Chains A and B, each alone.
Chain A
Amino acid sequence: MLDLLTDNLDAFVSGLWVTTRLVGASFVVALVLGTVVAALRVSPSVALARLGGVYVEIFRNIPLLVLLFIAFAGVRRGGIDITAWTAGILSLGVYTSAYVAEALRSGVAAVSRGQVEASLSLGFTFAQTLRRVVLPQAFQTVIQPLGSITIAMVKNSAIVGASLLALPDLLKEARIINSNTFQTTESFFWAAVGYLLLTVTITIVFRVLEARYAVRR
């Protein structure tokens, strides 16, 4: 059991690192896009709110695998030379941004109406109110859901690795080691340990964030 790990430590570590970078970059994309879409959804303009709603419904209901085929093979066939990394990060980021937007929207709903009214009556515009008053408080109430979304991202990153050949993530390294050694259970066991390491770390980080910033209502 242990020799499989020590013999292939480099491959496992590099796979774990690829998975970590993929999740990290996609998280940034998801957070930025998710915030923008959540802002659209709560905006007073009906057209913008509807646009945000359509965005969420599309990306929450389409399989990530289909999105990956569109973003990589599809876009390349269309003549744009997108790399596997860009396609993977964009797909996972856009897919997750719909969930982030939904979480943030419920966070915005939890901010009391009086806050918005006070801010508007102080002469802030809607955009200023959203940016300086509502969203900072909304983020504080959705730390826990953001944590589960990030953990889901770690799991979904394995789909990205499984469908894009040029992205040697943790699961793919485990499959390569398995095809070299035929030690299926051992290869997958150590990959599972790698995934658990990542998810446990994320759980701890979000627990610390929650303890420091969360607002309980």
Chain B
Amino acid sequence: MGYLFDPANWEWVITGNNARFLVEGFLVNVQIALVSMVLALALGLTLALLSLSRIAPVRVGAKLWIDVFRNLPLIFLILYLALSLPESVRSFWVDNAPGFLPEAMRSQLVLAGVLGLVLYNSAVLAEIMRAGVLSLDRGQREAAAALGLSYSQQMRQVVLPQGLRRMVPATVSQLVTLTKDTTLVSIIAIQEAVRSGRILSQTAGNPFVGGDVTAPILQVMIFVGVLFIAFNLALSRLSRRLETRESRRTATRAPSTVEQPAAA
């Protein structure tokens, strides 16, 4: 305990650019998280719709795809992609990455990370969305059909708005998991918060690199952890606020009987 709270072990926070160095690393995590969230939600919805399709081969294929990708460890997918993405794909990305993306997203390293995050999380999110739609009373769909709505109208105007709204809490907790999982890309050498933390703890206090203030890895990683906790708490708060506003507007409540798939 003495070691943990010893002011000498925390002095690095207010020395030089150390704290800023970590926060800049963390911003890379945030960028990767936001880009992956958008892509994973879009692909997840597509997969969910395919897995609910009336055409049997499409449905079976989509379910198989979902089951494979959500049952493999994410770090497994990221490492495999990092090792096996062909050179042509990498250089294509580096040459053609849209300019509006932040710089960290345009390197060839990040490709395997984002691809892994999207493949894994879209499968998990698809399963959540599918469960939401299936939990809806049959009568909703039948009533929509009886009113003469086409399949796509039934889906867009009746089934999806209700089914997806039920699954907002489960979806948000998966997005929190996604944000935490962005740290895994440090293992394929992308410099985000965790990697910055390791670099800082190795260089600070080293007479050859700079400074006489050491930055012990325990304290550095606690600092990084606090950044993630703050961000994720803000994310959950925000979604809860949106949910309350939404439920007041539509006068609906998420039924507590829906099985919320737990994930970690």
CB within 8 Å of B: which residues of A? 57-58, 60-67, 69-70, 73-75, 77-79, 95-96, 99, 102-103, 144-145, 148-149, 151-159, 162-163, 171, 175, 178, 184-185, 188, 191-192, 195-196, 199
Contact = CB atoms under 8 A, between A and B. Distances in A.
Given A103-B262, A153-B264, A57 B76 contact: no
B83 interface: yes
Interface in B19-76: 71-76
B95 interface: no
B229 interface: yes
A138 to B, nearest CB: 14
A148 B221 contact: no
Nearest to A75: B218
B124 to A, nearest CB: 10
A70 B221 contact: yes
Contact of B180 (A61, A74, A152): A61
A69 B217 contact: yes
A98 to B, nearest CB: 8
B194 interface: yes
Interface stretch (B142-150, B159-167, B181-189, B242-250): B181-189
A158 B84 contact: no
Given A57-B233, A66-B225, A191 B76 contact: yes
Nearest to A159: B75
Given A148-B261, A151-B71, A188-B76, A65 B184 contact: yes
Nearest to B181: A63
Interface in B110-163: none
A192 B73 CA distance: 9
Given A77-B218, A79-B3, A149-B264, A154 B76 contact: no
Contacts of A191: 76
Contact of B187 (A58, A67, A162, A188): A162
B180 to A, nearest CB: 4
Interface string B178-202: 0011111011000000100110000
17 contacts: A61-B232, A66-B194, A69-B197, A69-B198, A69-B217, A69-B221, A70-B218, A78-B3, A144-B259, A149-B262, A155-B74, A158-B73, A162-B79, A162-B184, A178-B83, A188-B83, A195-B76
